[in-house]
Amino acid sequence: MKKSCNQLLMLSLGMLLMVTNALAESPAPSVVTTMANVTVNVPILAPSLTASVETPVLHQYDDAPLTPDADDPAIWRNSANPKRSLVIASLKDAGLQVYNLQGKVLQTIYPANHPAVTEQDPPVPGLTSVLAATATCKGSTETYGRFNNVDVVYGVNIPKLGQVDLALATDRGCDMLRVFVIDPSKPNKPLQEITDTDAPRVFNNRIFQPSSYQPASDHEAGESENPVDEQNTAYGLTVFKDGNKTRVFVSQRSRSRLVELVLRPTKNGTVSYRVIRDYRFPVVHDVPASTSTEMLHWEACREDPNDDLQFEGLAVDARQGILYASQELIGVWKLPIARYIPDAVEVINVSDHFLMEKVKTFAMPYAAIPDGDEFECEYGDTSSAPSNAIIVPGNAAFAGQHIEADAEGISVVDKKDGTGYVIVSSQGNDTLQVYAQGNLFSNNVYLGEVTIEGVAETDGVHVVAQPFSKLFPDGLMVVHNGGAVEPEDTSDINGYEYDGSTQFKYINFKLPF
């Protein structure tokens, strides 16, 4: 990639300065009550929402071919007939599933590059017989496709097809974007892949930023080639329309990095893409020491010392021109989006000033305890840590207040009155943290947290605040449930070990905030 810019989007100085002071955290909402001339702040209890619909439970078996692991949903609203809207969801190795508003499976799409499945293997969604293998990913002799995240975009002009709606998925296995046209006239197969056969890899290189505290054995700092088999590949994504251009943000697995792409429809009716910006995030954060005037160069603990701190949840506020990016062990970043499309790739070194909301373990002292080739990370009091632990100082006063790591899925919710929400999955305590939308010059006021009955370990969340049906008159929220009911028999199948159950749940979207 050609470097052409080393300043964040070449924004005006005013835009850069506003973030420094504007992104302050806000206290939790409360009700003010007066008793005997004494004013008491009574916190609002977190509301618990109940799902109206849930999709069939999927059971995963570790390393089995095409084993399903539900992860990220995307809602496609049928403006002509909202009752016939779709939910498109990633199942990782098992590809995509498309559901209707009743949670019924309409279509299953396996990755284009997939292994064989035999009758003795664990069940595969939508498969009733054996399945022959296809080729491995380009540049690999062992890796197959794996769909990680999915999003939708409306009204894209494609030669031979006209103006159509698209679903995009990251193929984490092959390091590609997969592009599907949505055709509601085909109720049993509404998605058709139109990815161009010459579409490139998303991440041709990778950047290593080793920890200053934990020894990384495999790589030195700096840029290097990126073999697809090591899976530093396309991970999270979000897509949005900008005039006649369709733009996509994609994160890189196990790296502190995002890229921005623009779609390139071809004259043959297929879609390719090119990278236009490369966002590189710091792994070292300067934090004031708690006992002196010095600064601590704090870094989050890494379970695998050879990995950076990855992003997954991404969402765009198109009205305000803002990208929200959820970095699992750090927090949520809020970045301005440049409107122009550069001719060459711009490299963007992102400042800490754009970190909007930190996780609760941010800046905390911790003990990194060796556990084979990895580490067990224990934040907080390190006084009783074992003698072989690496102790990293911190300052708890600079920790976040609301998000319990991992920070996962994000949904930007536009309301008709011009306001809206930013909803973040706080996976560590099974909640959704809700913020008001803010523009580039104002902070995002914290509104409170929500729980979903029977839902745990949520990765992806998507909300559309428009009416859909009698069950969803106020809007539709779809959440991933990583704690679905286990099968009655959890025994191994063909030597593959049971590894958890997942699904999606639908909720009428109405919050008390």
Residue 290's pLDDT band (cuts 50, 70, 90): confident
User: What are the two backbone dihedrals, phi and then psi, of residue 352, each rounded to the nearest 5 degrees?
Assistant: -60, -20
Closest CA to 454 of 54, 148, 101, 86: 54
Domain-embedded: residue 223: no
Q: Which residue has the higher pLDDT, 6 or 263?
A: 263
d(CA 313, CA 290): 32
Residue 291's pLDDT band (cuts 50, 70, 90): confident
Q: Which residue has the tokens 């080793």?
A: 210
> What is the reported pLDDT for 45?
67
> What is the reported pLDDT for 37?
45
Domain-embedded: residue 114: yes
> What is the reported pLDDT for 44?
56
Mean pLDDT over each residue of the chain, to the nearest integer: 92
Residue 293's pLDDT band (cuts 50, 70, 90): confident
3-state secondary structure of 429: helix
Instruction: Give percent above pLDDT 70 in the chain.
Output: 91
**pLDDT of 190 over the 60 cut:** yes
CATH of the domain at 44: 2.120.10.30
Q: Which residue has the higher pLDDT, 109 or 41?
A: 109
Asked if residue 510 lies in contact with residue 76, where contact means CB atoms within 8 angstroms, the answer is no
Look at 215-229, 439-453, 464-478 and tell me which has the smallest mean pLDDT.
215-229
Q: What is the pLDDT of residues 10-48, one digit of tens each?
A: 444 334 434 333 433 444 454 444 444 444 444 456 799
Q: Write out the residue range of the structural domain in which residue 395 sits.
A: 8-140+153-218+235-508
φ/ψ bin of 118: left (φ > 0), alpha (ψ from -120 to 50), beta (otherwise): beta
Instruction: Give percent above pLDDT 90 in the chain.
Output: 87
Mean pLDDT computed over 55-80: 98
**pLDDT of 173 over the 60 cut:** yes
Q: What is the pLDDT of residues 326-377, one digit of tens each?
A: 999 999 999 999 999 999 999 999 999 999 999 999 999 999 999 999 999 9
Look at 225-229, 350-354, 430-434, 440-444 and tell me which has the smallest mean pLDDT.
440-444
User: What are the two backbone dihedrals, phi and then psi, of residue 59, each rounded to the nearest 5 degrees?
Assistant: -110, 130
d(CA 418, CA 437): 10
Q: What is the pLDDT of residues 378-395, one digit of tens each?
A: 999 999 999 999 999 999
Domain-embedded: residue 323: yes
The pTM assigned to this predicted structure is 0.92
Domain-embedded: residue 146: no
Asked if residue 68 lies in contact with residue 82, where contact means CB atoms within 8 angstroms, the answer is no
**pLDDT of 189 over the 70 cut:** yes
Domain-embedded: residue 201: yes
Domain-embedded: residue 345: yes
Q: What is the pLDDT of residues 404-419, one digit of tens each?
A: 999 999 999 999 888 9
Domain-embedded: residue 229: no
Which residues does 440 contact at the CB level (< 8 Å), separation at least 6? 15, 18, 19, 320, 321, 322, 336
Mean pLDDT computed over 130-155: 97
User: How many independent structural domains does the chain possess?
Assistant: 1
Domain-embedded: residue 499: yes
